[in-house]
């Protein structure tokens, strides 16, 4: 097992994952705000920014474009995911084998676990296979750890979110991607619960610049290792400037005000 | 991965798939209009037309006839499918392994995904295995991407159809076969959503000559790569002339009027 | 793939399968009419008649007796089947692997598909594995194609029966065993729907001599390739004479009256 | 396939299986009558009696004690079984692979099939794998064939019991272990239905000496090959004497009265 | 099969398992009483105490820390487990393959079986695979044998608990970890039911020092082999002293009073 900090997934121990699996998870309507983002090339270009430690996409987006971006982008193969066309208890199809992702040259593997779903047992067993295959290929594993489902009354409670980050530690992930709980205190709990597993905040829907950067800062203050972000970057006209700001904030220890200065 | 345009599935980047899996999907009543089409040989002969870039059939139809048509027809092995005898949430049996199709000499693989079905997760995982096996054999993959099922209130909405073509891109297909949405605008969205994945319109029930060719033309105008057609060709007495017309329209950039001239 | 007519399953292109899986499908009460038929040896002896192109039995009956009849009987390994002790949607357990049947020396493989059952998808996928394994061993495959189940309102309709024989063609069987529809016309449709797949009538319950032979004759007149018969042979005291009659009718093109002359 | 009579499972063609899987199937309360039988060693010692052709136990009981009894006991590895703690349609977990049983030195394999259960199809497919693996290791197979479950209104009817013994023949077992039907006539039917498969009566709850030996005698008179017995031996203080009696009855053709003389 | 007493799991035939899978089974709220125990290192340090014969953790906790504690801690890889976020019939995901645990250097394997759950059959079959893989790696197996679920009205009844320890014997475990029944008599029954399988009491929620040590003493008096303990050790400020006390009690045959003297 290669130490995580020796892999492309981190930079000085910090992490900025750019995520672009929205076409699968939400469908093309997620691209309506900035139509050119429906074209994966637009977002691959954004992913070449030095601030991005890895780019999380599904198999098809990876196979089609990664060969052209191999030198400039670290690939995080998101191996499960599902559309929001169907209804029913939370679940996620395993769309990509680790073997295939490794053959393509992926630098890390991503997997969603819905703890608390009636499908938790099956998903945890799928995670086992993915995690062990990733170990065989020396690939770090990021768990999108989102407790939700019939058994989870309130998925924004501090305790539930901290349980999610703990699951990442217990089950063998290297990084936990979690929702931001309501408070700094909640985030600290979640970071502590994960032990040495690095915790990154899931970016969520687009908000205004300052709010967004302040939430990232709060995550860092709480001991978090960074951010996994999608729409809050590529739904902005000034995506590259936002990445400049995030780079300052996350990797260069700038203040929120200094980071904001990167935005026009 | 061989570029799609270097495979028999395309001709100058355009596609005309002739489909003949109706005996499985709809049963023999589909052949009543033109009884001789119940005999596969009749339709294999039609498939030898130069306009047809590939012929989509199930395993049994392929095993029995392809050896005699190997030199004249490109085989698209449709590996899943099911009868309409049963009722229940949309699903499709995997009737043919990619290994067996490749052994027979298939030039491409076809797979139906019902996004939005309660069986979406299982079907997506079956697609994963089919797609990765196809990659191992350097075979392009066509996804019949038809969102439908309990979760899909309206499967003709532009957004739903565009979601379907996006699924083909995200999950790793090379071509998306989709239903024609109500409008050119809808088709454009679907084509855009698929990125570099080629989009072909599914022919549907038989209509009159001009309407049919106009809808094909609209697909091409919207950026689509062509057509997958069954009954609109082989349920016509003049199937070969219709293929002449489609060849003119799709591969030779003829107008609808010029194309219509091929029909008696 | 060896041409079917080069295999022991056919004789001059015609087929007479003797079936004896009733102990599994119906239980020992099927043997009450002629008690000695409960002893498999009685029926194996009948199966040595030259008219019988193959003898269809389950694994246990084959393993126990086939070694003694190897020179005189062609073995059709019926690899799935189930008791009628349970209730529930139509299904059939796969009781025998093709590998094991081939090791024993089986000459052909038999498989029941209940198209229209809620288990159709699963059964079709089991058929895929059986059919492809049979191909690997150069064994022809007979599909007992009986549409029935929750989705099938009327399993004696011509269209439903023709759909059944078409499924045999589409999914890759070499022979379709179907129920006799109400009429010659229905049988012709079913034969046509199967294309080059040979169609045999399933014998059903015991009837009187003339009615039985006339129905066989009707099948032949409709283009059918013969018969799969169980109780109509071995529930008769004069089973061997009935096989003489069937031999005349099926392989020697005798009239029903001439065939009847073989019966005392 | 080694002839059954050349294996340790039979002695002069007759069978006496001592069964001791009650700890799994019924729990420790089965041992309350004779507390020392909770200790497996007590029953292994009983199993060394020459009358016992094989001793049926689950994996754990076999792994722990068989190495010490290898020279004196023939091991019948009972590979499925389940507790009675749960409720629900009849089913049985496969707790032991044939490979592992064979590695330990098992002389035969035992498997329960609940024909008529909603789980019959799945159980029959598990039996297929067990039976074929046993064939690969030249191990005879005993089927505990007990029709029961939602579809079986009356599991003591002659016809149902005979169906059970027929299932053992059809599916490829070497010995059928069945419940004693109400009458000698019923037993004869069950023995006939099994053809060359040997039929043994399942011992059931403890009864008085004479009744028990008379029922065994009736089984032999009906053509049965012997007995599988548990509580009727090891719940007696004089277990070894009862085995003397059974030895006389089963292997030495003694009368019931003569057999009874072995009991103090 | 290596005798259990030759493995690190026992010391003079006695066992003290320290368990720390609460982050998975109960979530981070279990660590609130003693916040530093959320950090696995705190508990790994406790596990270095000589009294601890093995330390039971999930895969992630093992992979991350075991390499640093290899010389001082015997690793018991707990290979299944699940969160309490979801509701539904008792079940447990297999989160870790035996192969992976063995590669890491695990000294023993732990597995939870919920006898009486509607998932018992599936869990027993998972146990089969785990147990047989463990045998292949010469690793002893500890079964957390907790009857519960829809079929189990009262999981604290002596008979139910004894059934649980018997399941460990029947299915092939080396050690049974059970809940303490209400009485010494109940514990004796459970120990007897397990035969040569060693029985350890599951520690349960934290209680006061004397009560806790007295319950351990009762287990030893009843013939039990020791204890599996979590919160009753690491939720104490004086965890190491408590281990001194347990060491005296379990391995040095001290009285409860003498053992209590180790506590400040």
Name the band, by pLDDT with cuts 50, 70 and 90, for residue C1.
low
Task: Tell how strand D15-19 and strand D226-229 pair up.
Answer: parallel
Q: Is B221's pLDDT higher than 90?
A: yes
Q: CA B181, CA B191: separation in Å to the nearest integer?
A: 11
Q: Tell me whether chains E and B touch (3+ CB pairs under 8 A).
A: no
Q: What is the mean pLDDT of residues A128-150?
A: 97
Q: Is C264's pLDDT higher than 80?
A: no
Q: What is the mean pLDDT of residues A42-56?
A: 98
Q: Would you list which residues of chain A are within 8 Å, Cβ to Cβ, of chain B?
A: 21, 23-24, 27-29, 31, 38-41, 58-61, 63-64, 81-83, 85-88, 91-97, 100
Contact (CB, 8 A) for C139 and C109: yes
Q: Is B28's pLDDT higher than 70?
A: yes
Please spell the DSSP secondary structure of A22-88, one letter per residue. HHHHT-GGGGSSSGGGGSHHHHHHHHTSTT-SEEEE-HHHHHHHHHHHTTT--EEEE-EE--SSS-S
The residues of C carrying an active-site annotation are 146, 177
Contact (CB, 8 A) for A159 and E32: no
Q: Is B1's pLDDT higher than 70?
A: no
Residue C176: which H helix or E strand, with range?
A: strand C175-178
Contact (CB, 8 A) for E21 and E78: yes
Counting other chains too, the contacts that B26-32 makes at CB distance below 8 Å and 24 or more residues apart are: B26/B84, B27/B83, B27/B84, B27/B85, B27/C159, B27/C162, B27/C163, B27/C166, B28/C159, B28/C162, B28/C163, B28/C166, B28/C189, B28/C192, B28/C193, B29/C159, B30/B231, B31/C193
CA–CA min distance A116, chain E (Å): 4
Name the band, by pLDDT with cuts 50, 70 and 90, for residue B2.
confident
pLDDT in tens, A86-103: 989 999 999 999 999 999
Q: How many independent structural domains does chain A possess?
A: 1
CA–CA min distance A39, chain B (Å): 6
| pLDDT on residue D81 | 98
- D67 domain residue, yes or no: yes
Mutate to test the interface with A, among B133, B153, B170 (most CBs of A within 10 A): B170
Nearest alpha-carbon partner for E64 in C31, C103, A171, A81: A171
Taking an 8 Å cut-off on Cβ atoms, the answer to whether E96 and A128 are in contact is yes
Q: Which of B1, B116, B192 sits opposite A85 (nearest CB)?
A: B116
| pLDDT on residue C56 | 98
| pLDDT on residue A185 | 94
Q: Is D124's pLDDT higher than 70?
A: yes
Q: CA D70, CA D55: separation in Å to the nearest integer?
A: 11
- Residues from chain E contacting residue D91 (CB–CB below 8 Å): 121
Highest mean pLDDT (candidates A1-5, A205-209, E162-166): E162-166
Task: Give the pLDDT of chain E (264 residues) as one tens digit per residue.
Answer: 678 888 999 999 999 999 999 999 999 999 999 999 999 999 999 999 999 999 999 999 999 999 999 999 999 999 999 999 998 999 999 999 999 999 999 999 999 999 999 999 999 999 999 999 999 999 999 999 999 998 898 999 999 999 999 999 999 999 999 999 988 999 999 999 999 999 999 987 778 999 999 999 999 999 999 999 999 999 999 999 999 999 999 999 999 999 999 997
| pLDDT on residue D139 | 97
Taking an 8 Å cut-off on Cβ atoms, the answer to whether A195 and E40 are in contact is yes
Q: Tell me whether chains D and C touch (3+ CB pairs under 8 A).
A: yes
Please spell the DSSP secondary structure of E2-36, one letter per residue. --GGGSTT-BTTBEEEEE--HHHHT-GGGGSSSGG
What phi and psi values does residue E124 have, to the nearest 5 degrees?
-65, -35
pLDDT in tens, B140-158: 999 999 999 988 989 999 9
Question: Measured between alpha carbons, how far is residue E18 from residues A20, E65, E240 in Å?
Answer: 43, 15, 12
Name the band, by pLDDT with cuts 50, 70 and 90, for residue B182.
confident
CA–CA min distance A184, chain E (Å): 17
Q: Which chains reach chain A with 3 or more Cβ–Cβ distances below 8 angstroms?
A: B, E
Contact (CB, 8 A) for C3 and C38: no
Q: CA D101, CA E234: separation in Å to the nearest integer?
A: 42
Q: CA D198, CA B247: separation in Å to the nearest integer?
A: 71
Chain E: residue nearest D119 by CA? Answer: E121
| pLDDT on residue E253 | 94
For residue E136, what are the domain limits? 4-260
**How large is the angle between the packed helices E158-171 and D59-69, nearest 10 degrees?**
60
What phi and psi values does residue E176 have, to the nearest 5 degrees?
-110, 125
For residue A63, count CB atoms less than 10 angstroms from its CB and return exposed for 0-12, middle for 13-18, buried for 19 or more: buried
E241 CB neighbour count, 10 Å cutoff: 15
SS3 E195: coil
Q: Is C124's pLDDT higher than 70?
A: yes
| pLDDT on residue A110 | 98
pLDDT in tens, C140-198: 999 999 999 988 989 999 999 999 999 999 999 999 999 999 889 999 999 999 999 99
Give the domain CATH number at B197: 3.20.20.70
Cα-to-chain-centroid distance, residue D32:
22
DSSP for residue B14: B
Residue C104: which H helix or E strand, with range?
A: helix C98-104
What phi and psi values does residue B147 have, to the nearest 5 degrees?
-60, 125
- D247 domain residue, yes or no: no
Contact (CB, 8 A) for A221 and A192: no
Average pLDDT, chain C: 96
Quick check: is D180 catalytic? no
| pLDDT on residue A202 | 94
Name the band, by pLDDT with cuts 50, 70 and 90, for residue A1.
low
CA–CA min distance E145, chain A (Å): 19
Nearest alpha-carbon partner for C216 in C205, C207, C227: C227
Taking an 8 Å cut-off on Cβ atoms, the answer to whether B39 and C173 are in contact is no
Query: What is the C-alpha radius of gyration for chain C, rounded to an integer number of angstroms?
Result: 17
Nearest alpha-carbon partner for C51 in C264, C233, C203, C208: C233
Q: CA A205, CA A223: separation in Å to the nearest integer?
A: 23
Q: CA C9, CA C139: separation in Å to the nearest integer?
A: 10
Q: CA E74, CA D102: separation in Å to the nearest integer?
A: 32
- D114 domain residue, yes or no: yes
Quick check: is D146 catalytic? yes
More confident residue, D204 or E167: E167
Q: Is C262's pLDDT higher than 70?
A: yes
Q: Which of A85, A87, A94 sits opposite B115 (nearest CB)?
A: A85
Q: What is the mean pLDDT of residues A237-249?
A: 96
pLDDT in tens, D10-23: 999 999 999 999 99
- Residues from chain D contacting residue C92 (CB–CB below 8 Å): 121
């Amino acid at each position: 097992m290669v130490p995580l900090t020796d892999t492309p997934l981190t930079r000085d121990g910090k992490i900025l994952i750019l995520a672009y699996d929205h076409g699968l998870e939400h469908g093309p309507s997620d691209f309506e705000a900035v139509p050119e983002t429906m074209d994966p090339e637009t977002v691959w270009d954004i992913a070449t920014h030095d601030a991005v430690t890895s780019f999380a996409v599904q198999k098809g987006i990876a196979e089609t474009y990664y060969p052209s971006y191999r030198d400039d982008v670290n690939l995080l193969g998101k191996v499960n995911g599902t559309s929001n066309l169907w209804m029913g208890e939370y679940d996620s199809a395993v769309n990509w084998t680790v073997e295939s992702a490794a053959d393509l040259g992926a630098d890390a593997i991503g997997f969603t676990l819905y703890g608390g779903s009636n499908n938790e047992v099956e998903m945890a067993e799928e995670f086992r296979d993915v995690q062990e295959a990733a170990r065989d290929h020396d690939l770090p594993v990021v768990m999108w750890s989102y407790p939700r489902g019939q058994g989870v009354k309130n998925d924004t409670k501090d305790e539930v979110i901290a349980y999610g980050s703990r699951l990442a530690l217990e089950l063998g992930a290297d990084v936990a991607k979690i929702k931001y709980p309501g408070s700094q205190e909640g985030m600290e709990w979640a970071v502590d619960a994960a032990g040495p597993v690095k915790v990154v905040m899931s970016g969520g829907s687009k908000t205004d610049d300052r709010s967004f950067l302040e939430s990232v800062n709060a995550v860092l203050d709480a001991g978090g290792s960074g951010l996994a972000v999608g729409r809050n970057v590529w739904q902005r006209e000034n995506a590259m400037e936002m990445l400049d700001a995030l780079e300052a904030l996350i990797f260069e220890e700038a203040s929120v005000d200094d980071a904001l200065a990167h935005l026009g």
